[in-house]
């Protein structure tokens, strides 16, 4: 199996990383990685989308930031968003560009969740915060000006992991979620796919980095058989919210995410899967230096808007009252 061709602008990003002299993830401290991540976003994300309003709120003890694309008196569709960063780095600030873009281009309210980070707060802190924030949004939908039947969850990388786990937990307790937007998500703990072999190093996110991130999050635990850690451990995938699964062709996580999308589809879940050829993990943070990244945000937003507009329903067509 040959390695696919990289998008030329992605190649330039990787060349800059190689020449930076930075230590590998697994040899760095969380503080170093967080500072690097903040700087990288400043260097690579393009102009910010303008939205009507931005408000910081407290969601039962979890900090959230609410983006409203327009002023309206009608109930809006909404997306609860969890940022990526290996459970160790990232914040609502580093993902401000992505969440603004999704709000503006999909025409939905976005609630970005500032969950606690590892290793200071290991599993299940991030998941607990994601779950608590999502429930808060649904319980306060009327006050927030949101249509409770048209709320989705989403995230990138480990944020996608949190989103799909929250979607499953919501199914299990009858919590109405309209969709799950999974952007190059982590779905497995095993690192045993062909993409992990093909792109183990030299393409941004590495095999060793993923192993290090898991250790920060889980400590000495494995978690490979726990669906609250590794979504692929879930056996029954029926009646989950409709899914939009985005993958990057040149990414260690590609195969596990695409396998998860296939399993959703085979379980009867309405599923859209999009692979972005020649792109690397985290490409949505590169809109200022990779033209295809900005176009991808347009395309993803279009799919998201359509999925949220459909609203939540179960297999019998029942829709709960607002």
Active site residue 83: no
d(CA 237, CA 264): 6
Per-residue confidence band for 176, with pLDDT thresholds at 50, 70 and 90: confident
Class of domain 8-310: alpha beta
Binned at pLDDT 50, 70 and 90, residue 318 comes out as very low
Using alpha carbons, select from 85, 81, 87, 84 the residue that is nearest to residue 102. 81
317: left (phi over 0), alpha (psi -120 to 50) or beta: left
Q: Of the residues 40, 114, 255, 281, which is catalytic?
A: 281
pLDDT above 90 covers a percentage of the chain that reads 93
User: Does residue 124 have a cis peptide bond before it, meaning omega lies within 30 degrees of 0?
Assistant: yes
So what's the pLDDT on residue 186? 98
Per-residue model confidence as pLDDT tens digits over 109-143: 999 999 999 999 999 999 999 999 999 999 999 99
Name the band, by pLDDT with cuts 50, 70 and 90, for residue 313: low
Asked whether the predicted pLDDT for residue 70 surpasses 70, the reply is yes
Q: Which of 7, 129, 251, 255 is catalytic?
A: 251
Q: Is 52 a catalytic site residue?
A: no
Parallel, antiparallel or unpaired: strands 179-183 and 146-156: parallel
| C-alpha distance from residue 317 to each of 28, 96, 175, 269, 312 (Å) | 51, 36, 15, 14, 9
Q: Is 311 left (phi over 0), alpha (psi -120 to 50) or beta?
A: left
* 160, pLDDT greater than 50: yes
Task: Spot the catalytic one: 76, 112, 157, 293.
Answer: 157
User: In whole numbers, what is the pLDDT of the chain averaged over residues?
Assistant: 95
Q: Is 172 a catalytic residue?
A: no
């Amino acid at each position: 199996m040959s390695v696919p061709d990289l998008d030329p602008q992605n190649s330039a990003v990787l060349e800059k990383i190689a020449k930076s002299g930075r230590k590998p993830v697994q040899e760095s401290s969380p503080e170093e990685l967080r500072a690097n991540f903040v700087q990288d976003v400043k260097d690579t994300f393009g102009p910010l989308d303008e939205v009507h309003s931005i408000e910081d709120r407290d969601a039962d003890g979890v900090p959230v930031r609410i983006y409203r694309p327009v002023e309206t008196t009608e109930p809006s569709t909404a997306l609860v968003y969890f940022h990526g960063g290996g459970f160790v780095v990232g914040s609502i600030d580093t993902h401000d560009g992505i969440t603004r873009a999704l709000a503006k281009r999909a025409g939905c309210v976005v609630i970005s969740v500032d969950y606690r980070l590892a290793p200071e707060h290991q599993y299940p802190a991030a998941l607990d915060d994601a779950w608590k924030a999502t429930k808060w949004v649904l319980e306060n939908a009327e006050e927030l000006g949101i249509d409770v039947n048209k709320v989705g969850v989403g995230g990138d990388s480990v944020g996608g992991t949190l989103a799909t786990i929250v979607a499953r937990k919501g199914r299990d307790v009858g919590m109405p979620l309209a969709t799950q937007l999974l952007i190059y998500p982590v779905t497995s703990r095993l690192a045993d796919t062909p993409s992990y072999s093909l792109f183990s190093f030299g393409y941004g996110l590495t095999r060793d980095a993923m192993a290090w991130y898991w250790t920060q999050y889980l400590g000495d635990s494995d978690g490979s058989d726990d669906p609250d850690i590794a979504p692929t451990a879930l056996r029954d995938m029926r009646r989950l919210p409709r899914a939009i699964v985005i993958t990057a062709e040149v990414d260690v996580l590609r195969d596990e995410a695409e396998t998860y999308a296939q399993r959703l589809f085979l379980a009867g879940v309405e599923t859209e899967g999009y692979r972005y050829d020649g792109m690397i993990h985290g490409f949505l943070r590169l809109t200022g230096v990779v033209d295809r990244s900005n176009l991808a945000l347009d395309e993803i937003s279009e799919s998201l808007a359509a999925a949220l507009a459909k609203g939540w329903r179960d297999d019998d067509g029942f829709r709960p009252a607002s």
